[in-house]
């Protein structure tokens, strides 16, 4: 959700808006398992609406030649035509000082060992953030917008309606002392938002 001015527009694609594959999360969630061959699908949502999906197979039976295969369809924005893609992602592992194995994906573009791969809207490849030159929404937020964004983030965290002067409400089950800390932070941010609005008004009047 954008701030008062919705940040800066244009520029390179943002990681926040891209489909993301987090291999550590897939390991923790049981989507892939070392020593096994697994298959499944990943589904992404944006504002509770489907925003993308892929199917995958992951072969980790041979640790020296482990890989994951991604299958997905991309719709061309200009023509609406659909095209199917298959992408192979090599896997490898490192051995931490405390033992065990930490698994990584290798970016198909740069070959770098990474934990996450991204696919921007309308693109046809999953690659590392560096290879795709992806930025983050937070990098494009102006100083003027920042307090508004932080208010929205706090409201979202507590399940409250997002918007300046929409207030903050204690969620059911939250300790009163915990909520009081959030409220103290909210009031600080609200003062900052008010100062921004006052400065904008003064500039307009001048």
Burial pattern 81-109, b for ≥16 Cβ within 10 A else e, equals eeeeeebebebbbeeeeeeeeebbbbbbe
Span 132-161, mean pLDDT?
74
Please tell me whether residues 117 and 184 are part of one structural domain: no
Please tell me whether residues 32 and 92 are part of one structural domain: yes
Please tell me whether residues 174 and 157 are part of one structural domain: yes
The burial class, CB within 10 Å (0-12 / 13-18 / 19+), for 203 is: exposed
Computed over its alpha carbons, how large is the radius of gyration of the chain?
22
DSSP class of 139: G
Please tell me whether residues 143 and 128 are part of one structural domain: no
Domain boundary among 132, 148, 183: 132
Please tell me whether residues 49 and 97 are part of one structural domain: yes
DSSP class of 99: S
| pLDDT bracket for residue 50 (50, 70, 90) | low
C-alpha 69: how far from chain center? 22
* Domain-embedded: residue 2: no
In order of 10, 118, 155, the CA distances from 128 in angstroms are: 21, 6, 31
**Most confident of the ranges 58-67, 75-84, 138-147:** 58-67
Q: In the chain, at which residue ranges do the beta strands (DSSP E only) sit? A: 19-22, 37-46, 49-59, 67-75, 82-94, 102-106, 113-114, 116-119
- pLDDT, tens only, 123-138: 788 988 888 877 554 4
Please tell me whether residues 58 and 122 are part of one structural domain: yes
Looking at every residue in the chain, the average pLDDT score rounds to: 80
pLDDT at position 103: 94
pLDDT at position 135: 59
| pLDDT bracket for residue 162 (50, 70, 90) | confident
DSSP 29-63: HTSS-TTSEEEEEEEEEETTEEEEEEEEEEE-SSG
Domain boundary among 132, 147, 181: 132
* Domain-embedded: residue 7: no
- The domain in which residue 95 lies consists of 19-132
pLDDT at position 28: 92
Span 71-99, mean pLDDT?
84
C-alpha 179: how far from chain center? 27
pLDDT at position 27: 92
Would you call 65 helix, strand, or coil by DSSP?
helix
Would you call 179 helix, strand, or coil by DSSP?
helix
Span 12-23, mean pLDDT?
70
Span 8-23, mean pLDDT?
63
pLDDT at position 60: 96
**Could you give the number of structural domains in the chain?**
2
Span 11-23, mean pLDDT?
68
pLDDT at position 76: 66
Please tell me whether residues 91 and 149 are part of one structural domain: no
**Predicted TM-score of the model (pTM):** 0.57
* Domain-embedded: residue 1: no
Please tell me whether residues 33 and 121 are part of one structural domain: yes
* Domain-embedded: residue 162: yes
Does residue 135 contact residue 143 with C-beta atoms inside 8 Å?
A: no
Please tell me whether residues 25 and 114 are part of one structural domain: yes
* Domain-embedded: residue 112: yes
- pLDDT, tens only, 92-115: 999 887 778 899 999 988 999 989
Higher pLDDT, 147 or 92: 92
pLDDT at position 16: 58
């Amino acid at each position: 959700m954008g701030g008062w001015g919705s940040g800066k527009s244009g520029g390179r694609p943002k990681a926040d808006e891209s489909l993301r594959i987090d291999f550590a999360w897939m390991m923790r969630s049981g989507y892939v398992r070392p020593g096994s061959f697994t298959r499944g699908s990943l589904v992404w949502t944006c504002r509770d609406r489907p925003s993308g999906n892929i199917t995958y197979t992951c072969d980790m039976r041979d640790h020296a030649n482990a890989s994951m295969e991604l299958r997905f369809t991309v719709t061309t924005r200009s023509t609406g035509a659909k095209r199917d893609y298959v992408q192979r992602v090599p896997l490898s592992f490192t051995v931490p000082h405390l033992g065990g194995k930490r698994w990584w994906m290798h970016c198909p573009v740069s070959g770098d060992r990474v934990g996450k791969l991204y696919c921007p809207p309308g693109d046809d490849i999953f690659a590392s953030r560096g290879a795709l030159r992806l930025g983050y929404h937070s990098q494009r937020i102006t100083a003027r917008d920042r307090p508004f964004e932080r208010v929205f983030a706090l409201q979202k965290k507590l399940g409250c309606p997002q918007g300046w002067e929409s207030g903050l409400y204690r969620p059911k089950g939250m300790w009163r002392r915990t909520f009081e800390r959030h409220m103290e932070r909210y009031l600080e941010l609200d003062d900052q938002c008010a100062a921004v609005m006052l400065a904008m008004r003064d500039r307009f009047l001048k």
